[in-house]
Chains A and B, each alone.
Chain A
Amino acid sequence: AQSVTQLGSHVSVSEGALVLLRCNYSSSVPPYLFWYVQYPNQGLQLLLKYTTGATLVKGINGFEAEFKKSETSFHLTKPSAHMSDAAEYFCAVSGTGGYQKVTFGTGTKLQVIP
């Protein structure tokens, strides 16, 4: 079984500051890891994914995440926050194969202060 923990249900940053959203996972098999974003009154959109290969993954809107196996982490970062980044972010983990079941974290709401 797999699980994911997102540290901090709410994070506030100033516009232009670094965004860091934390995610730690647990998986009995090599994991596939995802970050999704949810804007108000919308469904989730994929930001980026890690499957195999390069551990630094670049996504849309300037976000990136680094897979660190030794720390079982997949933290999401963006060098400079923009007002449009205000949303809820979900980390998700899945094992390989099977019916592609994905386990989501509880989410982190990002507030960007002008």
Chain B
Amino acid sequence: DVKVTQSSRYLVKRTGEKVFLECVQDMDHENMFWYRQDPGLGLRLIYFSYDVKMKEKGDIPEGYSVSREKKERFSLILESASTNQTSMYLCASSPLDRGRVQPQHFGDGTRLSIL
């Protein structure tokens, strides 16, 4: 069975801290994504990666960075956490298919609180 694993379900950090959210997939997928989910706003794309060391900004990249050193792992970094980054963060992956768009597989999410 396919699996996307996020390292923490719940995380509490303080403003100004550097925060790392980790995501690992075991499906050998090329594409990986980070979203944040807020009530009434749905899922908003922060960053995505289509290959090792490659990254593209999504719709709301400000205040975030990412790292993809290995194909199976995609990390989201909050450089200096702020209270407005309190949210649910979802990681997803999908296979590369140049002819069609494939569905994404999601992790269970990390609920991050910044105090």
Contact = CB atoms under 8 A, between A and B. Distances in A.
Is the pairing of A and B real? yes
* Majority secondary structure of chain B interface residues (helix, strand, loop or mixed): loop
A34 B88 CA distance: 21
Contacts of A106: 40-42
Nearest to B91: A43
Interface string B39-71: 011111100101000001010000000000000
B48 A43 contact: no
Interface residues of A, number: 26
Contacts of B50: 99-100
Nearest to A34: B103
Given A41-B108, A43-B106, A43-B108, A97 B99 contact: yes
Contact of A96 (B4, B35, B101, B108): B101
A99 B96 CA distance: 8
B57 to A, nearest CB: 11
A113 to B, nearest CB: 22
A34 B103 CA distance: 8
A36 B106 CA distance: 10
Nearest to A97: B98
Contacts of A101: 45, 48, 58
A42 B45 CA distance: 18
Contacts of B107: 43
Given A94-B101, A97-B99, A43 B40 contact: no
A90 B31 contact: no
14 contacts: A43-B90, A43-B108, A45-B106, A46-B103, A46-B105, A96-B100, A99-B48, A100-B101, A101-B45, A101-B48, A102-B101, A104-B35, A104-B42, A106-B41
